[in-house]
A and B are shown apart, each in its own frame.
Chain A
Amino acid sequence: MTRIPLRPLARILEARSKGENPDRIERDNLRHRHEEMRGRSRLRAEGRLVVLAGLFLCAFIVVGVRMGVLSQSEPRETQGAASGVSIATARAEIVDRNGRILATNMATHALYAQPPMMVDHEVAARELVKIFPDMDEEKLLAQFGGERKFLWLRRKISPEQQQLVHDIGEPGLLFGPRDMRLYPNGNLAAHILGGAGFGREGVSAAEVVGVAGVEKRFDDWLGDPENSGQALQLSLDLTVQAAVEQVLAGGMGIMSAKGAAAVLMDVYTGEVISLASLPDFDPNNRPRPLTQGDAADSPLFNRAVQGLYELGSTFKIFAAAQAIELGLVNQGTMINTRGPITSGGFRINDFHDYGPELSVTDVIVESSNVGIARIAIQIGAERQQEFLASLGLLTATPLELIEAPGARPLKPRRWQELSTMTVSYGHGLSTSPLHLAAAYASLLNGGTLVTPTIIRQEGVARGARVISSEVSAQARDMLRQVVVRGTASFGDVQGYQVGGKTGSADKPKETGGGYYDDKVIATFASVFPANDPRYVLVVMLDEPEIFASGELRRTAGWTAVPVAAEIIRRAAPLLGLKPEIASQGASGVTLTSN
């Protein structure tokens, strides 16, 4: 574009010579330049206006589309319900191995108030307090009269309470349907089921979500609408669970124990038939978790799964079996039991003095720490760790409870000779009773690994071999001897050939540094029947004490063993085990034949 000067000299001179006003030329050129500039800016503005119009159009379309998407999505808090509600309400049931209901759903209602719709605040508050005595009339009045347009009064009410609220006749008190999780057996199997609460919550529906135990572990499956109408079948046996809990509670009371746990496991499938932890709670009304102090003191704490304890002499059988498997000893090999052994400033001694030497079987039967420690030295730290790891004692159990993965055994920081010796009699390694039950099952079922599970299994899937079947049989024999003539003589149940090992471990002080000398964890790990193993039972009592035969006794032989024996006596028939009846000589019926 050529730029014309405002006062081109040639034209000015020409105009002057003609006597015209040269300013007119300047004005003319100025006008041209102005017009050109305007033209340019107009064209530019035209383009930019199109852009602006396009942008605004797009923005309005975006808002419109977003409105459309939003209006077709489901409402969070349903109030007038023009569109459907799809919070999944039918959570799958949970049943035991025989199909008996452990957890189901019940339709109830939640009560809420909309103060702007209320007719008479005072009457409503007064009548509500009559129905729900724990409500505070003054507080209700303050809430009704306040800014709130909506407030929850009760999360769940019974049909009777609902009728009473209806009878108040107050239009501002309203109900929202609630599917409530119901545990018809109350406290039974509380720790396994865990409990459920409300997740996403709307007025006319609320999502039930698991908060602990199986309910939380299988939350997705249970809450999946596809599975509604189906049931989650656990390996638990409701009647056995009831018997176990009842006996355990009785034993805990007699022994003045602080807590107790029991695990009953199928020796081949790893199915947990019963798992109890006391004290327990009602999953229909879960207590609040402790906000201070030790979480293990809360009834919510699952001692059988979450509790990590030094389980004492019950571990001796692992060292004995491994030593036999490795060919280091056999059942009859004599072991030096002269104590004490001193190692790194630590003395290992026995409860009694058992004389200069005992056979391997008798080390187990008499429960000699010195003897088993000497065997463990022969095995060595590395092989011991390998063997315990192969039994699953050094890692968290895969049990399908949300709490299980958190229970990782506490291992010695440096696993050397001293640790090898102490671990052989169950000190320095803390595991849960469930760990112990699973390891006993693996060791005693013929020597194949079992994986503990809470879900009903079809048939037996043999795991990897951990020990030969001969050694497994010898281990069962040694455990049977313990009951027949050793520390667990109270554990003999007529007809069921119980074998087992006691463990009485002093409790470590919470402050660290040493052990209490008047608090023990008493454990009895047993298998029955010993000649044809079917079940493993681990019973653990926390700080039991009983005055018997003239002295205060805490050892497992006096505490855990009788409780376990009673459990077996009650549970074995329920499990369908046929007792072995010793032949009574000549029977009353004489067969004759002619």
Chain B
Amino acid sequence: MTEMAYGALPKREGDPILPRWWRTIDKWSVSCVLILFGIGLLLGLAASPPLAERNGLNPFYYVQRQAFFGGVALVAMFITTMMGPNLVRRLGVLGFGVAFVALAFLPFFGTDFGKGAVRWYSLGFGSVQPSEFLKPGFIIVAAWLMAASQEINGPPGKSMSLALAAIVVIFLALQPDFGQSALILFGWGVMYFLAGAPFVLLIAIAAIVVMGGMFAYNNSEHFARRIDGFLNPEIDPTTQLGYASNAIREGGFFGVGVGEGQVKWSLPDAHTDFIIAVAAEEYGLVLVLTIIALYTIIVVRSFIRLIAERDPFIRLAGTGLAAIFGVQALINMGVAVRLLPAKGMTLPFVSYGGSSLIAGGIAIGMLLSLTRTRPQGSIGDILARRGGRQ
């Protein structure tokens, strides 16, 4: 009874792994992820040849790499989805440890590829960005700590996870990589909200953020200029943002046609941060809305499936993973349509990038594994009139 209620799978002797996997996985989300991956390859075909040409490589060099890393990512994803929650937690914590050590040693062994921020380890054939792997690991560890704090006589998990978040953010900010720091903080915030943050505290935090923003606006000229630039409806058409909004306008409803787009020639980040602009220009609003719908389905379905979840760890970890996945997509697209101030962030599964793809695969694998259907013991609840349900 207890076993069933707390989520460990009831062992059915002889139940083969794959059929059970197929029965319990969220097939909608898996399909969406696969479609997104396909779209990513398609857009890579459009967006990356200019970059390859600039670097003197064969035009589809980056597409081939994307396909290779995508394959690796999909394998990693499927393996992860087959794990049980306990295994996910153990590997997640271990992964976090490894990624954190890698992050900490970045200043000594890392490279900045001439981009001004030391974020990568160069491995000859490719590079690894530890912060991408750190994100899902952090979510798992924080969820574990918060869930533990909900045990009787448990550790003060919420404070511990906050301290951990602060340490990670400091390391990320040193690179500097404010985008990832913001994601980590956001993920922690969502989990803390779910774990029962008091509303007074939430309101206080919101007030502090607003006041801090106003303080920064009034006292930092750099910050004020960025916000003014964002609020100004006139946009300099020669900036990245200008090219991006222009490309979206250019595309109209059905786009200018495959391969006809121009924005990829003008935007250095067309294959990563502004891939949505390439999509909008060549394939039009139709594809963009499709992409948005895919992300929405994955995120919202995950939340809905997690509503029924009884295990605090699974609930917290799943929500955190879905939230950072969703918010990363939101920020990327929000920047391109000027809903948000400029901030470089990749579009999960669609943007080019090995680390981002594989880490994304692992993170989505964890999410899918956590949202698998499990017996939740609700009948037992009803019978025992527990949990305040009358």
Interface set of A (CB-CB < 8 Å, partner B): 30, 33-46, 48-50, 52-53, 56-57, 59-64, 66-68, 70-83, 114, 116, 149-150
Q: B306 to A49, Cβ gap below 8 A?
A: yes
Shortest CB-to-CB span from B195 to chain A, Å, is 7
Q: Please state if B292 and A67 are interface contacts (CB–CB under 8 Å).
A: yes
Among A42, A57, A61, A83, point to the contact of B387 (Cβ < 8 A): A42
Give the shortest distance, in Å, between B343 (CB) and chain A (any CB). Answer: 14
Residues of B within 8 A of A56 (CB): 296, 299-300, 303, 323, 326, 330
Closest B residue by C-beta to A33: B152
Q: Does B299 contact A67, Cβ atoms closer than 8 Å?
A: no
Kindly report which residue of chain A lies nearest to residue B50, judged by CB atoms. A116
Do B265 and A82 touch (CB < 8 A)?
no
- With beta carbons under 8 angstroms apart, the residue of B245, B293, B295, B307 that contacts A70 is B245
- Nearest-neighbour CB distance to chain A for B259, whole angstroms, equals 11
Let me know if B178 is at the binding interface, CB within 8 A: no
Contact of A43 among B251, B254, B339, B388 (CB under 8 A): B388
Enumerate chain A residues within 8 angstroms of B3, measured Cβ to Cβ.
none
Closest to A202 in B: B237
- Chain B residues in 8 Å Cβ range of A114: 265
CA distance A30 to B196 in the complex (A): 21
Q: Could you say which of A43, A61, A73, A79 has the most chain B C-beta atoms within 10 Å of its C-beta? A: A79
Contact at B260–A80, with CB atoms within 8 Å? yes
Bound: A52/B251 CA distance, A: 32
Asked if B342 is at the interface of the complex by the 8 Å CB criterion, the answer is no
Inter-chain CA distance A339–B28, complex, in Å, is 108
Cross-chain contact A53 with B388 (CB below 8 angstroms): no
Listed by A's residue number, 14 A-B pairs whose Cβ atoms lie within 8 Å are A33-B152, A39-B381, A41-B196, A42-B310, A43-B387, A45-B315, A49-B307, A52-B319, A59-B330, A77-B237, A78-B250, A79-B262, A82-B251, A83-B252
Of the candidates B288, B304, B338, the one having the most CB atoms from chain A within 10 angstroms of its own CB is B288
Interfacial chain B residues near A70, Cβ < 8 Å = 245, 248-249, 337-338
Binary contact track B257-295/A, C-beta < 8 Å → 1, others 0: 100111101100000000000001100110011001101
Q: How far is the CB of B188 from chain A (nearest CB, A)?
A: 14
| B292/A60 in contact, CB under 8 A | yes
Q: Which residues of A contact B250 (CB under 8 A)?
A: 75, 78-83
B304 x A63 contact (CB < 8 A): no
A431 shortest CB reach to chain B, Å: 40
Q: Is the Cβ of A37 less than 8 Å from the Cβ of B152?
A: yes
* Cα(A37)–Cα(B237), bound, Å: 56
Whether the pair A116, B387 counts as a contact (CB closer than 8 A) is: no
Q: Is the interface of A mostly helix, strand, loop or mixed?
A: helix
Contact call B310/A82, Cβ cutoff below 8 A: no
Please tell me if B190 contacts chain A, counting CB pairs below 8 Å: yes
- Bound complex: CA A452 to CA B337 (Å): 51
Identify the closest chain A residue to B251 (Cβ): A71
**B261 touches which one: A34, A66, A76, A80 (CB < 8 A)?**
A80
Residues of B within 8 A of A41 (CB): 150, 195-196, 312
Q: Which 7 A-B pairs have the closest CB atoms?
A: A39-B387, A53-B303, A75-B249, A79-B262, A80-B256, A60-B296, A82-B256
- A34 contact set on B, CB distance < 8 A: 151-152
Contact B387 A35 (CB under 8 A): yes
Minimum CB distance partner of B267 in chain A: A149
The yes or no answer to B109 lying at the interface (CB within 8 A) is no
**Residue B61 is within 8 A (CB to CB) of chain A in the complex:** no
Are B265 and A149 within 8 A (Cβ)? yes
Q: Is B38 an interface residue (CB 8 A)?
A: no
Please measure, in the bound complex, the distance between the C-alpha atom of A41 and the C-alpha atom of B313, giving whole angstroms: 12
Q: B11: CB under 8 A from chain A?
A: no
* Sample of 15 further A-B pairs with CB below 8 A, known A39-B389, A56-B296, A75-B246: A35-B387, A38-B310, A38-B312, A39-B388, A52-B190, A52-B193, A57-B296, A57-B300, A63-B339, A70-B249, A71-B280, A71-B284, A71-B285, A76-B237, A77-B237
In the complex, which residues of chain A have a beta carbon less than 8 angstroms from the beta carbon of B299? 53, 56, 60
B248 touching A35, Cβ below 8 Å: no
Asked if B107 is an interface residue, CB under 8 A from chain A, the answer is no
Q: How far is the CA of A75 from the CA of B385 in the complex (A)?
A: 62
User: With a CB–CB cut-off of 8 A, which chain B residues contact A49?
Assistant: 194, 303-304, 306-307, 315, 319
> Shortest Cβ distance from B283 into chain A, in angstroms?
11
Please give me the residue from chain A that is nearest to B302 by CB atom: A53
- List chain A residues, Cβ under 8 A from B260: 80
Q: How far is the CA of A456 from the CA of B263 in the complex (A)?
A: 50
Are A76 and B312 in touch, CB under 8 angstroms?
no
Please measure, in the bound complex, the distance between the C-alpha atom of A77 and the C-alpha atom of B239, giving whole angstroms: 12
Q: Separation in Å of the A39 CB from the closest CB of chain B? A: 3
The interface of chain B, by Cβ under 8 A from chain A, is 50, 53, 150-152, 190, 193-196, 235, 237, 242, 245-246, 248-257, 260-263, 265-266, 280-281, 284-285, 288-289, 292-293, 295-296, 299-300, 303-304, 306-307, 310, 312, 315, 319, 323, 326, 330, 333-334, 337-339, 381, 386-389
- Please name all residues of chain A whose beta carbon is closer than 8 Å to the beta carbon of B304 when the two chains form the complex: 49, 53
B295 & A60 in contact (Cβ 8 Å cutoff): yes
Taking a contact as CB atoms closer than 8 A, the residue among B190, B326, B333 that contacts A67 in the complex is B333
In the complex where A56-B296, A63-B339, A82-B251 touch, is A48 in contact with B194 (Cβ < 8 A)? Answer: yes
CA distance A42 to B195 in the complex (A): 9
A59→B295 CA distance, assembly (Å): 11
Query: B303 near A52 (CB under 8 angstroms)?
Result: yes
Q: Which of B237, B242, B248, B389 contacts A71 (CB 8 A)?
A: B248
Contact between A71 and B249, CB atoms less than 8 A apart? yes
What is the distance, in angstroms, from B136's C-beta to the closest C-beta of chain A?
18
- Give Cα A158 to B293, complex, Å: 50
**Closest CB of chain B to A120's CB: distance in Å?**
17
- Report the minimum CB–CB distance from B337 to chain A (whole Å): 4
Q: How far is the CA of A73 from the CA of B315 in the complex (A)?
A: 42
Q: Is B339 a contact partner of A62 (Cβ separation < 8 A)? A: yes
CA–CA, A76 to B249, complex, Å?
A: 8
Contacts of A83 in B (CB 8 A): 249-250, 252
- Interface centre among B190, B261, B337, by most chain A C-beta atoms within 10 angstroms, is B337
Q: Are A63 and B152 within 8 A (Cβ)?
A: no
**Whole-angstrom distance between the alpha carbons of A78 and B50 in the complex?**
20
* Neighbour of A76 across the interface among B190, B246, B315, CB < 8 A: B246
Q: How many Å lie between the Cα of A30 and that of B153 in the bound state?
A: 10
Contact A71 B253 (CB under 8 A): yes
Residues of A within 8 A of B193 (CB): 48, 52
Q: How far is the CA of A191 from the CA of B67 in the complex (A)?
A: 66
| A211 vs chain B, min Cβ distance (A) | 20
Q: Is the beta-carbon distance between A64 and B289 smaller than 8 angstroms?
A: yes
- Find chain B residues with CB under 8 A from A36 CB: 386-388
Q: Looking across the interface, which residue of chain A has its beta carbon closest to that of B323?
A: A52
Closest A residue to B304 using CB positions? A53
**Which residues of chain A have C-beta atoms less than 8 A from B312's C-beta?**
38, 41-42, 45
Q: Given A42-B310, A53-B303, A60-B330, is A73 in contact with B319 using a C-beta cutoff of 8 Å?
A: no
- Pick the residue among A38, A50, A52 that contacts B150 (CB under 8 A): A38
Is the Cβ of B330 less than 8 Å from the Cβ of A44? no
Residues of A within 8 A of B265 (CB): 114, 116, 149
Question: Bound complex: CA of A46 vs CA of B388, how far in Å?
Answer: 13
Flag if A46 contacts B266 (CB, 8 Å).
no
Nearest chain B residue, comparing its CB with the CB of A117:
B265
The answer for the CA separation of A59 and B326 in the assembled complex, in Å, is 10
Residue of B nearest to A32 (CB): B386
Contact yes or no, B196 A67, CB < 8 A: no
Q: How far apart are the CA atoms of A71 and B288 in the complex, in Å? A: 10
A64 touching B292, Cβ below 8 Å = yes
Q: How far is the CB of B315 from chain A (nearest CB, A)?
A: 6
* Residues of chain B contacted by A73 (CB below 8 angstroms): 249
Q: Is the CB of B307 within 8 A of A46?
A: yes
For residue B386, which residues in chain A have a CB less than 8 angstroms away from its CB? Answer: 35-36, 39
Complex: A41 Cα to B319 Cα, angstroms: 15
Say yes or no: A76-B242 contact (C-beta < 8 A), given A42-B387, A56-B326, A71-B284.
yes
- Contact partners of B242 in chain A: CB under 8 A: 76-77
Q: Establish whether residues B50 and A68, one from each chain, have CB atoms under 8 Å apart when the complex forms.
A: no
B54's closest neighbor in chain A, by CB?
Answer: A116
Chain A residues whose CB sits within 8 angstroms of the CB of B389 once the complex forms: 39, 43
Query: B residues within 8 A CB of A75?
Result: 246, 249-250
